[in-house]
């Protein structure tokens, strides 16, 4: 024996309200949608049939109900039973059961959303050549039909009798706001209590002023630029509005999406590719599909292709900007460089943009990396800001061009450059390489300064630092503390081994290299007048003190970490120098 499923409507309504729709407000959208679809259906057979939808809120009806009228196709009595009273049955599918693309609805559940706010739904409907049908549905699952006086016009009126605890959803202002929000762009005139709320034309079809107003209204900003969007295969038109202020590339951007001119979502994600964080879209598409809640786009091949094509259109805008309006490009990057750089970590196109346009800090002035390569060949960079600050002037004086790679993403991006072109050479500056570029002293001078150097070396021996004497520019710099990267690592490793427990010390010692004995260097500058005066001091003790002070100052200037021994030495030499400088009372 064949049986049919029994449906408990209360269970279904509970499912809709708690799991499908994010808010009961969608009922206004569903009512307008049915009205619009009914007009579309009627116009398909009678192109000159009237097309209008009007809502009467309790302010007009006076009895607390909401009425929605349309001049659509209307339903026959048989259709009322088949369509209105059958959950999941839609009159908007073809013979094979596929949703017909000219209609907004497709699932056959929309009308049920009215039960989120109403206990009772009354439908009065007349189809051309048929008597008017009066249908009433109750939230407990019962419904009844009856005959009554004929409506004058073909069409339908849906009346909602609010549930007591949901009456506020039918308030005049609320209904009007929701009708504007969802239906402002609908293709047929919609009125609320007599006032027209539809705009008629898609706002991005208007001029620049209309677009600026649209951006202000929808997102609250005046766009840096507006990019036109078009994907014919998805029946998509719209605009991407470029943000005038920096955006967080990690935060998902919300776009305003209309489907067949009915608002789908104010904050739709995943319309643009991830890298296009700098734009917000407003768009309408006729061929994209909604999910059953109609609050998000259905993820299918078409949506994926749309995303790709919109990405290509945004990229085209960037390329065009770079080619024809470098000034604007620079302004764009000044706002969005962090986001662009974040993307350039994975996206070659963005990397090319940074390479070509973003002015990096270098010790030869600010310039994009591409220009830096043209002028200086190898992209030599320091990996942190402190190192750059300390070495930039010295390196420049030796004719060595260095990029400051210390800002967020910069080192990683520089190291990624060979991906763009295998012939690009990048090289991280090793501070110890610098000293090989400094001039050595005349053999005679060097010989004469041996005792001074020996005294200086003695006082820094306990700190594991080697003292060397060279001549380099700028002469104003007395001393430079240089440490090679490997030596720094080995030194930190040894220090850590001393403070951790035995087990860890054993593990760490495996990384220690016996041959890595390169010690950090304090390079004293013989071109500096103060250094020359110190070198000429007769007392090895005073030489020791001043060299220690220079050591401390070089450490501080280079932002090198101070070990307890360094701090103690700094203190002592400072106090001892004061002691020397200030005459004793008893003297």
Ligand X SMILES: Nc1ncnc2c1ncn2[C@@H]1O[C@H](COP(=O)(O)OP(=O)(O)OP(=O)(O)O)[C@@H](O)[C@H]1O
| Contact positions vs ligand X (CB under 6 A) | 30, 33-35, 38, 70, 72-75, 83-84, 90-92, 105-111, 156
Nearest approach in angstroms of CB 30 to ligand X is: 6
**298 or 511: CB nearest ligand X:** 298
Nearest approach in angstroms of CB 259 to ligand X is: 11
Give the number of other CB atoms < 10 A from CB of residue 320.
12
**1 or 96: CB nearest ligand X:** 96
Nearest approach in angstroms of CB 189 to ligand X is: 16
**84 or 276: CB nearest ligand X:** 84
Give the number of other CB atoms < 10 A from CB of residue 318.
20
Nearest approach in angstroms of CB 110 to ligand X is: 2
**155 or 405: CB nearest ligand X:** 155
Give DSSP secondary structure letters for 339-398: HHHHHHTT-HHHHHHHHHH--B-BBTBSB-HHHHHHHHSSEEEESSHHHHHHHHHHHHHT
Nearest approach in angstroms of CB 194 to ligand X is: 20
**91 or 238: CB nearest ligand X:** 91
Give me the sign of the Cα torsion angle 46, 50, 51, 56.
negative
Binding site for ATP: which residues? 30, 34, 70, 90-91, 156
Residue 518 in contact with residue 465, Cβ under 8 Å?
Answer: no
Would you state the structure tokens that stand for residue 281, as one six-digit string? 């879209």
Q: CA–CA separation, 246 vs 402, rounded Å?
A: 28
Coil, strand or helix: which one is 463? helix
Nearest approach in angstroms of CB 114 to ligand X is: 9
Strands 403-404 and 466-470: unpaired
**Torsion angle defined by CA atoms of residues 345, 350, 353 and 355, in that order, rounded to the nearest 10 degrees:** 20
Residue 183 in contact with residue 190, Cβ under 8 Å?
Answer: yes
Nearest approach in angstroms of CB 282 to ligand X is: 23
Binding site: which residues? 30, 34, 70, 90-91, 156
Spatial CA neighbour of 163 closest among 124, 200, 202, 117: 117
Nearest approach in angstroms of CB 38 to ligand X is: 3
CA distances 547 to 36, 405, 527, 540, 553, Å, are 88, 32, 16, 10, 10
**82 or 412: CB nearest ligand X:** 82
**100 or 519: CB nearest ligand X:** 100
Q: CA–CA separation, 508 vs 497, rounded Å?
A: 7
The one-character DSSP state at 106 is -
Spatial CA neighbour of 38 closest among 78, 81, 89, 90: 90
**110 or 405: CB nearest ligand X:** 110
Q: CA–CA separation, 320 vs 342, rounded Å?
A: 21
Would you state the structure tokens that stand for residue 66, as one six-digit string? 């909401």
Nearest approach in angstroms of CB 121 to ligand X is: 10
Coil, strand or helix: which one is 6? coil
**181 or 292: CB nearest ligand X:** 292
**108 or 405: CB nearest ligand X:** 108
Give the number of other CB atoms < 10 A from CB of residue 115.
27
Backbone angles phi, psi at 302, to 5 degrees: -65, -45
Spatial CA neighbour of 197 closest among 57, 41, 71: 57
Give the number of other CB atoms < 10 A from CB of residue 31.
28
Nearest approach in angstroms of CB 167 to ligand X is: 22
DSSP H helical ranges for 3-47: 9-15, 26-45
Q: CA–CA separation, 409 vs 407, rounded Å?
A: 6
Nearest approach in angstroms of CB 130 to ligand X is: 12
**34 or 237: CB nearest ligand X:** 34
């Amino acid at each position: 024996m064949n049986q049919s499923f029994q449906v408990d409507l209360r269970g279904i309504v509970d499912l809709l309200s708690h799991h499908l729709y994010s808010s009961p407000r969608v009922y206004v959208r569903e009512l307008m949608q049915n009205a619009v679809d009914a007009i579309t259906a009627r116009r398909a057979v009678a192109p000159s049939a009237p097309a209008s939808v009007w809502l009467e809120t309790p302010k007009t009806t006076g009895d607390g109900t909401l009425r929605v009228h349309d001049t659509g196709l209307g339903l026959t009595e048989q259709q009322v039973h088949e369509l209105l009273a059958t959950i999941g049955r839609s009159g908007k599918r073809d013979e094979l059961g596929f949703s017909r693309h000219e209609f907004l609805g497709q699932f056959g559940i929309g009308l049920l959303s009215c039960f989120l706010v109403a206990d009772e739904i009354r439908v009065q409907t007349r189809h051309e050549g048929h008597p008017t049908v009066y249908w009433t549905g109750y939230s407990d699952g019962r419904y009844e039909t009856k005959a009554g006086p004929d409506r004058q016009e073909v069409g339908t009126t849906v009346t909602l009798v609010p549930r007591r605890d949901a009456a506020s959803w039918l308030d005049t202002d609320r209904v009007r706001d929701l009708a504007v929000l969802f239906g402002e762009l609908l293709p047929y005139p919609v009125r609320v209590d007599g006032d027209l709320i539809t705009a008629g034309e898609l706002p991005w079809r208007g001029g620049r002023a209309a677009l600026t107003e649209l951006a202000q209204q929808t997102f609250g900003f005046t766009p840096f630029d507006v990019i036109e969007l078009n994907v014919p295969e998805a029946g998509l038109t719209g605009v991407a509005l470029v943000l005038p202020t920096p955006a967080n590339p990690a935060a998902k951007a919300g776009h305003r999406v209309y489907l067949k001119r009915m608002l789908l979502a104010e904050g739709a994600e995943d319309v643009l590719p991830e890298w296009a964080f700098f734009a917000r879209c407003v768009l309408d598409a006729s061929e994209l599909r909604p999910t059953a809640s109609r609050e998000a786009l259905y993820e299918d091949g078409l949506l994926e292709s749309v995303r790709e094509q919109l990405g290509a259109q945004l990229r085209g805008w960037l390329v065009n900007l770079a080619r024809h309006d470098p000034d604007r490009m620079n302004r764009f990057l000044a706002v969005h460089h962090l986001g662009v750089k974040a993307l350039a970590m994975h996206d070659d196109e963005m990397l090319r943009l940074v390479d070509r346009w973003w002015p990096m800090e270098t010790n030869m002035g600010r310039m994009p990396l591409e220009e830096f390569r043209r002028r200086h060949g190898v992209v030599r960079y320091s990996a942190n800001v402190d190192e750059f600050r300390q070495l930039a002037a010295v390196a420049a004086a030796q004719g060595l061009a260095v990029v400051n790679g210390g800002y967020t993403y910069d080192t990683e991006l520089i190291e990624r450059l060979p991906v763009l072109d295998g012939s690009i050479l990048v090289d991280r500056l090793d501070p110890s390489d610098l000293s090989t570029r400094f001039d050595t002293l005349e053999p005679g001078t060097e010989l004469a300064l041996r005792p001074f150097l020996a005294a200086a070396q003695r006082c820094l021996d306990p700190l594991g630092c080697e003292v060397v004497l060279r001549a380099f520019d700028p002469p104003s710099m007395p001393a430079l503390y240089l440490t090679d990267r490997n030596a720094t690592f080995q030194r930190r490793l040894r220090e850590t081994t001393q403070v951790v427990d035995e087990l860890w010390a054993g593990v760490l010692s495996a990384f220690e290299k016996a041959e890595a004995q390169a010690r950090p260097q304090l390079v004293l500058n013989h071109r500096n007048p103060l250094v020359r005066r110190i070198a000429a001091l007769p007392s090895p003790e005073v030489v020791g003190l001043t060299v220690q002070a220079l050591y401390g100052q070089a450490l501080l200037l280079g932002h090198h970490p101070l070990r307890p021994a360094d701090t103690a030495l700094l203190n002592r030499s400072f106090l001892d120098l004061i002691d020397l400088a200030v005459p004793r009372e008893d003297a």
